[in-house]
A = this chain, B = another copy of it.
Amino acid sequence: MSEQPRRMQVLQAIVEDYVASREPVGSKALVDRHQLGVSSATVRNDMAALEDEGLIVAPHTSAGRIPTDKGYRVFVDQISEVKPLSAAERRAVQTLLDSSDDLHEMMSRTVRLLSQLTHQVAVLQYPHLDSSTVRHLELVALAPRRVLAVVILSSGQVDQRAVTTEQDVSETSLNALKQLFLRHLDGLTPVQAADGLRAAMATVPEEDRELAGVLAGQLDQLLAARREDRIIMAGTANLARSPGDFPYSIGPILEALEEQVVLLRLLTEMEQDVRGLSVRIGSENSGSLAETSVIAAGYGPGAGAKLGVVGPTRMDYPGTMTAVRAIARYLSRILSQ
């Protein structure tokens, strides 16, 4: 046993106690509650060293220490294996997530479950299904100058958009265009679809040119930025559970969470480690999320979409990591049928 191991043990103990008690932890309490085979004075030396390294701080002279963001980071990086879910939790997951025919329903249950398991705010990004292809296209006249375009993808996703046209639209034109577009788009991925649309436009008869142009534009947008890039959320009430966790207000955090764009960028930025998990701690995040930690995992085909939780930096990292990873895996499995 060289010097490093015990120091890490001490750090680990501090993190665990602080997460459990929310109170700065002193050297005495540490030796009482953990079997480090040394006295409090020794621990004090270690703590002084840890403080020099910037892993813990004392809020004031006569109080114990609390971990810094950097301290949590080291703690998290130390975690070598992610424990599996408990049997009871696994049962809960299976009961709640099995037998759901509807994608939205499924997603909604998943995010609620994750929030309950972790007691944190859970976020879930709709899956990127880039490998899905256009399966069907429907153009419906809602009103003389209003057309609804619906695209159905092989993944089971359905996206729609309403278009207002300059001139009245005849059922005949609409049908012709539908067949024409569909011929050029069928089986293409959303990425390829832009080319398909261009090819289709070339063959449009003169009289439908204008309508086709408008429709093609909307279809292009529809396929490019699909509704998938949405985030759903559950358990925001957990932010308010322990008022001490967010000394200022939780207002800015709620705002940031409602601002889906920000959250989306954050999730996409986060790179997963070998365990398929990514953890961002406190000040590693920018803006209003700088006092929160985010634990996320990719799921689904290519692990392109993310799910995860947002909570206070003072968080049960091992347990939360377990839950996030488990849900991500389970969801992946279900999505691949």
Residues of A within 8 A of B (CB): 101-104, 135-136, 138, 140, 142-143, 146, 148, 150, 152, 154-156, 158, 160-164, 218, 227, 234-241, 243, 249-255, 258, 337
Question: Which residues of B have CB within 8 Å of A102?
Answer: 160-162
A155 x B138 contact (CB < 8 A): no
Name the residue of chain B whose CB is nearest to the CB of A255: B237
A150 x B158 contact (CB < 8 A): yes
Q: A98 CA to B249 CA in the complex, in Å?
A: 34
A164 x B101 contact (CB < 8 A): yes
**Overall SS of chain A's interface:** mixed
Question: Which residues of B have CB within 8 Å of A337?
Answer: 143, 146
Shortest Cβ gap from A243 to chain B (Å): 7
Shortest Cβ gap from A216 to chain B (Å): 14
Question: Which residues of B have CB within 8 Å of A241?
Answer: 249, 251
Name the residue of chain B whose CB is nearest to the CB of A234: B258
Question: Which residues of B have CB within 8 Å of A234?
Answer: 258
Closest 4 pairs between A and B when the two form their complex, measured CB to CB: A237-B254, A240-B251, A237-B255, A158-B160
Question: Which residues of B have CB within 8 Å of A155?
Answer: 142
A136 x B135 contact (CB < 8 A): no
A236 x B258 contact (CB < 8 A): yes
Name the residue of chain B whose CB is nearest to the CB of A152: B140
Question: Which residues of B have CB within 8 Å of A142?
Answer: 135, 154-156
